[in-house]
């Protein structure tokens, strides 16, 4: 478990030695981007209104306080389930040149391929810790696609010391959660066999 | 042309206004302060997970909850779709106003806490921007004879944990082994993403909706509570050990434990069916309980020392 500090813009060389299970802290630009934004880019062919090349996106729908005059305060921001974006993510990475995809839980083969081909990482922020994360957001500098409502707007955040981020897919396509799932499923079958001896309540 | 969801707060009786205000305050408390049973269980689990990665996650959780309380902010950004599980007597004086009171309380708490806007109207597919909508909050009422009291669980049902629950109806030939398989398979699929350590709610009944409701009621019980039925209690215990031994750890990254607890709620079944359902509460299990008497005196059994 190595610890890394990354600053946007992120170059390929900055992340090529980072491996699954490592910890990353981020400084720079982090843009919230989730379900409908992915769909608009990939299926509706609408260009993303924020340039995320060499930057980071966060699968999240934050709580924002509207301060008026296009000023916003980040109240709470934790990640949402990344797997919902799996069907779009490879294409998303290809089209946008994003380098870090931050979310919750693992992602699948499409994202693995995207991370490998285009040099990107998927990382998880410990979900539920939304106030801690909000204190790492120095400023919300832009908001796009506001028609999608508070959770789905692209909130462009300037962050400092944002983390801990646990690397779940690295640039070689290694996948932490998929490796873990093999273990979990093996242990599950052993446990089911033990429990089933004890639950013959219908006789 | 889509007609957007409109909301105008109704005029309440003086007592109705009082109850609405108490509930709006309580919802804000629930959004930032975990119930006592959850807090103490997390503390216990943090002592068991001593590897650096797991320790880092538990430290972050602890720090987050301190910050939420200090800054008076919701501790998790997903403040859920509000659900109320209400047991109310026919003589409770505000019975007629109750539904409106609950909706208004969520509307107010959303502005004050503030909560996230989590009500998207289906088919017309727009966010109401109010955190209320058709059927949100969800109110489930159990009539309690002619009592004059009202007891309610307040639950922030999150989109990553408890809302994607699952239910199915087994054949009796599949037995309780089928129940075990159903629960365990969910733990290694959606359980990993549901923010472990989890509170696992298991419902056993006769159909999808009865089992699903039982699984939700199971999440309202304390994490260390035990079913009054001896066999159901045995299953709780077996599942707790079994799921812990899968070793999901905090956030599913691996560790010594997976769950805060497993609660089973059961009701009778038709001879031809076994309904089973799983709902999971995340580690940030924001559920409250408030008990009112006819004069709106209340107690908060899950939040010792909290005054509204």
CATH code where residue A108 lies: 3.20.130.10
Q: Which contiguous run of DSSP H or E holds residue A130?
A: helix A130-134
Contact flag A201-B188 (C-beta cutoff 8 Å): no
Assembly ipTM? 0.93
Residues 7-46 of A with CB under 8 A from B: 21, 23
Class of domain B14-33+72-158+287-299: alpha beta
What percent of chain A is predicted at pLDDT more than 90? 98
Using CA coordinates, name the residue in chain A closest to B175: A202
Tokens 């538990």 correspond to B58
Domain residue limits at A127: 3-176
Model pLDDT, residue B190: 87
How far is residue B180 from each of residues B192, B206, B227, B295, measured CA to CA in Å? 17, 16, 17, 45
**Which of A129, A167, A198 would best serve as a mutation to test chain B binding (most B beta carbons within 10 A)?**
A129
DSSP assignment string, B57-74: HHHHHHHHHHHHHHHT--
Model pLDDT, residue B278: 98
Angle between helices B36-48 and B52-71 (to 10 degrees): 150
A38 is catalytic: yes
Model pLDDT, residue B303: 97
pLDDT digit string (tens) for A159-203? 999 999 999 999 999 999 999 999 999 999 999 999 999 999 998
Q: Indicate whether A198 belongs to any domain.
A: no
Identify the three-state secondary structure at position B164. Answer: coil
Model pLDDT, residue B2: 80
Which position among A5, A38, A119, A122 bears the catalytic label?
A38
For the entire predicted model, the pTM comes to 0.94
Please tell me which of the candidates A75, A128, A184 has its beta carbon nearest to residue B282.
Answer: A128
Confidence bin at A1 (pLDDT 50/70/90): confident
Which tokens is B90 given?
Answer: 């026919």
Residues 41-70 of A with CB under 8 A from B: 60-63, 65
Cα distance between residue B47 and residue B234, in whole Å: 26
Q: Indicate whether A186 belongs to any domain.
A: no
Q: Are strands A63-68 and A56-58 parallel, antiparallel or unpaired?
A: unpaired
Please tell me which of the candidates B78, B184, B254 has its beta carbon nearest to residue A191.
Answer: B184
Q: Indicate whether A187 belongs to any domain.
A: no
Cα distance between residue A134 and residue A136, in whole Å: 5
Contact flag A81-B160 (C-beta cutoff 8 Å): yes
Cα distance between residue B8 and residue A161, in whole Å: 43
- Prior bond to A9 cis, omega within 30? yes
Model pLDDT, residue B1: 73
Cα distance between residue B26 and residue B268, in whole Å: 34
Q: Indicate whether A113 belongs to any domain.
A: yes
| Residues of chain A found within 8 Å of residue B241, distances taken between Cβ atoms | 191
Count of structural domains, chain A: 1
Angle between helices B230-246 and B175-188 (to 10 degrees): 30
Model pLDDT, residue A73: 95
The CA distance from A203 to the nearest CA of chain B, in Å, is 10
pLDDT digit string (tens) for B143-185? 999 999 999 999 999 998 999 999 999 999 999 999 999 999 9
- Residue spans of chain B under pLDDT 50: none
E strands in chain B:
81-88, 120-121, 126-127, 138-143, 150-157, 166-170, 198-205, 259-266, 274-281, 287-292, 298-299
The CA distance from B18 to the nearest CA of chain A, in Å, is 27
């Amino acid at each position: 478990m190595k610890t890394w500090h990354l600053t946007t813009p992120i170059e390929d060389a900055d992340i090529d030695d980072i491996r699954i299970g490592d910890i990353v802290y981020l400084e720079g630009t982090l843009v919230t981007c989730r379900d409908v934004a992915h769909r608009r880019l990939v299926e509706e062919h609408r260009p993303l209104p924020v340039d995320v090349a060499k930057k980071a996106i966060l699968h999240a729908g934050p709580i924002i306080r509207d301060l008026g005059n296009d000023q916003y305060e980040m109240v709470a921001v934790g990640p949402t389930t990344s797997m919902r974006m799996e069907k779009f993510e490879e294409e998303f990475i290809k089209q946008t040149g994003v380098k870090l995809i931050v979310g919750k839980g693992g992602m699948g083969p499409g994202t693995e391929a995207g991370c490998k081909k285009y040099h990107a990482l998927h990382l998880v922020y410990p979900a539920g810790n939304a106030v801690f994360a909000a204190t790492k957001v120095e400023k919300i500098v832009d908001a796009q696609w506001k028609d999608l409502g508070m959770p789905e707007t692209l909130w462009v955040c300037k962050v400092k010391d944002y983390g801990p981020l646990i690397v779940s897919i690295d640039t070689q396509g290694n996948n932490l959660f998929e490796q873990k799932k093999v273990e979990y499923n093996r242990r599950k079958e052993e446990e089911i066999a033990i429990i089933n001896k004890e639950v013959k309540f219908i006789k | 042309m889509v007609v957007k969801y409109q909301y105008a707060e109704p005029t309440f009786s003086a007592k109705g206004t009082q109850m609405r205000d108490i509930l709006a305050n309580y919802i804000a408390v629930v959004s930032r302060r975990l119930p006592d049973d959850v807090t103490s269980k997390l503390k216990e689990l943090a002592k068991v997970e001593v590897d650096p990665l797991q320790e880092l996650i538990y430290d972050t959780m602890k720090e987050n909850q301190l910050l939420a309380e200090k800054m008076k902010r919701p501790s998790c950004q997903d403040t859920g779709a509000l659900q109320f599980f209400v047991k109310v007597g026919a003589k409770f004086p505000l019975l007629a106003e109750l539904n409106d009171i609950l909706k208004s309380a969520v509307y107010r708490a959303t502005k004050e806490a503030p909560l996230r806007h989590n009500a998207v109207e289906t088919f017309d597919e727009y966010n109401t921007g109010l955190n209320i909508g058709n059927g949100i909050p969800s109110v489930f009422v159990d009539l309690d004879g002619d009592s004059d009291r009202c007891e309610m669980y307040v639950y922030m049902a999150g989109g990553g944990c408890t809302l994607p629950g699952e239910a199915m109806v087994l054949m009796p030939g599949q037995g309780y082994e089928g129940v075990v398989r159903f629960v365990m398979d969910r733990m290694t699929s959606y359980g990993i993403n549901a923010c472990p350590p989890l509170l696992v709610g298991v419902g056993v009944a006769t159909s999808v909706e009865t089992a699903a409701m039982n699984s939700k009621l199971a999440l309202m019980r304390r994490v260390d509570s035990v079913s009054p039925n001896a066999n159901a209690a045995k299953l709780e215990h077996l599942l707790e050990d079994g799921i812990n031994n899968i070793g999901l750890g905090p956030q599913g990254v691996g560790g010594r434990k997976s769950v805060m607890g497993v609660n089973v709620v059961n009701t009778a079944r038709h001879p031809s069916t076994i309904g089973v359902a799983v709902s999971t509460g995340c580690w940030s299990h924001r559920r409250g309980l408030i008990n009112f008497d006819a004069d709106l005196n209340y107690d908060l059994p899950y939040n010792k020392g909290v005054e509204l």
